[in-house]
Amino acid sequence: MKFFKTVIQRTTGSAYVLIETSNQCFSQLFYSFFKSLIGKDVVVELKNDLSICGTLHSVDQYLNIKLTDISVTDPDKYPHMLSVKNCFIRGSVVRYVQLPGDEVDTQLLQDAARKEAAVQAR
């Protein structure tokens, strides 16, 4: 039974995290992880292909994200977003979160995910 999938890939100083959760324990794992990144610059790619850069202001247990000082990576495609400075992103519409590579210990995150999966498999 597949409860979650996490893919962590390091590329040119960034780490990408793809999260699919259907279990509260796994959501808590990523909730704690993202809370440790508050105040850091992240890029959130939404399922509608909109990518938003900004400073992580807060995250909640549903993995909803608040960003401040945002900018859009493709302003020509989304001109209506140019005047927006802060935003709230519902967790269910997030495809990827690009994190600062120097802030992420991918081995620690993968080990924690494996431990949670082992506990759930029992």
* pLDDT tens-digit series, residues 6-49: 444 444 555 555 555 455 555 677 788 888 889 999 999 999 99
Determine the pLDDT at residue 25: 56
Residues 116 and 108: their CA atoms lie apart, in Å, by 12
Determine the pLDDT at residue 13: 54
DSSP letter for 31, please.
H
Identify which of 19, 28, 67 has the alpha carbon closest to the alpha carbon of residue 47: 19
* pLDDT tens-digit series, residues 64-100: 999 999 999 999 999 999 999 999 999 999 999 998 8
Q: Which amino acid is at 45?
A: E
Q: Which domains does the chain have, with CATH numbers?
A: 8-116 (2.30.30.100)
Determine the pLDDT at residue 53: 96
Determine the pLDDT at residue 71: 95
57 pLDDT above the threshold of 80? yes
> How many Å separate Cα 74 from the centre of its chain?
19
Q: Which residues pair with 100 in a beta bridge?
A: 14
Query: Residue 80 burial (CB < 10 Å; 0-12/13-18/19+)?
Result: exposed
Determine the pLDDT at residue 18: 52
Determine the pLDDT at residue 7: 45
